[in-house]
Chains A and B, each alone.
Chain A
Amino acid sequence: MHDNMEIPVGPQHPALKEPASFRLSLSGEKIMQASVRLGYNHRGIEKACEERTYIQDLYLIERICGICSHAHSTAFAQAVEEIAGVNLPKRAAYIRTLVGELERIHSHLLWLGVAGHEIGFDTLLMYTWADREIVMDILANVTGNRVNYGINSLGGVRRDISPEQVRQIAKAMDALEERTKYYIELASVETTLINRLSGVGVMSKKDVLRLGTVGPTARASGVARDVRKDDPYAAYAEINFNVVTDNHNDIYGRTIVRLGELMESFNIIRQVIKNLPDGPIAVKVARKIPSGEAVSRYEAPRGEDLHYVKANGTESPERVKVRAPTLANIQSVAFMLEDRYLADMPIVVAAIDPCFSCTDRSIAIKDAEGKGKKKKIVDWESLRLHGIEWYSKQGIDFTALNKRFKR
């Protein structure tokens, strides 16, 4: 154990819920160097958006992320609405805010459970996820699905809220608030939890600004950055809430921030259902969107989500670009891992609440020329032709199969 030991964490590892590769250089239990590699989850969503209509894109974009799906679909819808020059009805803006905050609650409760699991505290996982069911049931009731809600349409929302649902939400908020208070109490007294979280993944305010992290990761280091406040969208301009910050600078601080944001979310939801304006829930938007481009920002539970849409006057966008919050945060992970214990690795990665499939917008080609081996970069069409040729050499003919699938 004198030399540094190279240990691979990922692409498949129990600590990771999605594929990503971390290579840790260990000396004993200490991490000397860490490198992050993404790109295992590239799905080509941006390109696929260009081939579909705006209506279809809304559902595709929503599936970038399973947890913050409303964040992505709202950000996309906002960009398209801006290009089309549509004024969102007030009631629609309020319902979007409501669903967005319900989503934040479910995401933060989920994070708390995952964080518990990563530090070997499965009981916390079981309890928080049981509480999360309350908000999942409400989301299913209000929007129709537990995840990938499909509540947004271009120009508004697809489902209205009944007074009965409002009553149920108010009741659930009370129940959840009581539970959240218990978790805040737990986080402030449970010794083992504090020992595992505080002093781990330390990132000073200066580092946060240098590495450009967003969301709770940045707010835990005292950077009060929140799109809901800085550039209000939906109904946030009319709602009174605080940006929760903390100056612990470590994972304990990030836990406190997320718990505090839960309390703020309850507060926001109460204001939304109290001041829910009457009126239509959607306006009609033409299928063809005029040429133009727009950038839209949204404060997802994990941080700032950024969408860029370019329209060319047809039914499909010319270009869609997504910058998910994890992309902004992932650079800080390698920095936080260095000179820490191996045991802290899962929680440091989990603390930015990573979503690798959201982040994987491109494939990094490593070592393109190769060393000694024959490697070359081919384009899509020649790869396809190569595949057909290769298989026909093996005596396999796909023409019949292709016909069957109407290709």
Chain B
Amino acid sequence: MLKALFNILIFPGFLFLIIFGLAAEFYDRKIYARFQNRVGPPWFQPFADFVKLVAKENIIPEQADAYVFKLVPVFALTSVVTAFFYIPLWKTGALYSFNGDMIVVLYLLTIPTVALFLAGWYSCSVYSTLGAMRSLTQLFAYEIPLLTSILASALLANTWSLSKITVFYSLHPGLWAFNLLGFIISVVTLMGKLEKGPFDIPEAETEIVAGSLTEYSGKLLALFRLTIDIEMIVGASLLAAVFLPFGLTLHPAIGFILFLLKVLLIVSIISLFRTVLARLRIDQMVNFCWKYIAPLAFLQVLINLIVKWTLVR
């Protein structure tokens, strides 16, 4: 019981996620700045921003639904933290697992987007409403390819559980290489999920101010920003578990370092794309996802089916 509480609240749960999330945000911002030939922020900047926001006053618009307005950030934060417990990190098993936890994790990761939609919709401002609509439109574009590419990996392992996927790939080393296409697809769609890089359409600063979060301030904004940081970690860990499942049977310390490196690698790829691409328009984004990304994801499923029938018996 005490151990479970420790796991949930401190390590690898809530506290670890906050620290790692903010550290990853620093890494993202720093490397983004260095890509652009700038000095970039000092290491404590995300922490300082968080503390500053927490210290500030919450302003809730008169027309907004105060109850939903306050509830959704908490809702979003809880769901991403919960998802983290079902992802195998530096061992072949997650903290908790059951058959079908893959679907649960994917749906828990959808909740922040839905929360963003609700936050924008119930803020009742024009910019928030537009941002909310864009969030939802974008969700339909990236969610299917993301699900399909992860499903392809699971198909090969013949399981619905993330922990069993890592066990399978540890037993059959080298098979993960077949999932490379799926890895690229899921990194691209993860960028859509995190609203980063060329897919930052729902919060496009120069068009709709801050999208769904326009009316947010103070602690609630801090929670939302923390959610997005943690979502980045959780999303990256999910991809690391599914697509980069090596080094999991080694000593836990080495495994832990490998885990950090894998997450930072995925964050670096996201930062790089964010640096070199211009923001797409929402119609271009949807087009791109359905025209290129979704068919490629289905191609990955096909590849894995063939691999499964020929190589894995």
Contacts and interface: CB of A to CB of B under 8 A. Distances in A.
Nearest to A14: B205
A118 B281 CA distance: 12
Contacts of A345: 207
A41 to B, nearest CB: 20
A259 B35 CA distance: 24
B282 interface: yes
Contacts of B204: 120, 343
A341 B281 contact: yes
A119 interface: yes
Contacts of B208: 342
A379 B278 CA distance: 50
Given A341-B283, A343-B201, A343-B207, A1 B133 contact: yes
A117 B206 contact: yes
Interface in B243-283: 275-283
A231 interface: no
B310 interface: no
B283 A123 contact: no
Contacts of A14: 205-206, 209
Nearest to B200: A120
Interface string B127-151: 1011001000000000000000000
Given A5-B126, A123-B35, A123-B275, A196 B281 contact: yes
B284 interface: yes
Nearest to A342: B207
B279 A196 contact: yes
How would you classify the secondary structure of chain B's contact residues: helix, strand, loop or mixed? Answer: helix
Interface string A8-22: 100001110000000
Contacts of B207: 15, 342-343, 345-346
B120 interface: no
A176 interface: no
B158 interface: no
B126 A7 contact: yes
Interface string A21-36: 0000010110000000
B282 to A, nearest CB: 6
Contacts of B200: 120
A123 B275 CA distance: 6
A1 B129 CA distance: 10
A116 B275 CA distance: 12
B205 A121 contact: no
Contacts of A342: 130, 207-208
Interface string B283-303: 110000000000000000000
Given A14-B209, A118-B206, A123-B276, A192 B198 contact: yes
A280 B208 CA distance: 55
A124 B198 CA distance: 14
Contacts of A276: none
Contacts of B313: none
Contact of A116 (B127, B205, B278): B278
A178 to B, nearest CB: 16
A120 B206 contact: yes
Contact of A195 (B126, B133, B201, B280): B280
Contacts of A196: 278-281
9 contacts: A14-B209, A118-B206, A120-B279, A121-B279, A195-B278, A196-B278, A343-B282, A345-B207, A346-B206
Given A15-B207, A192-B277, A192-B278, 4 more contacts: A7-B127, A13-B209, A120-B279, A127-B37
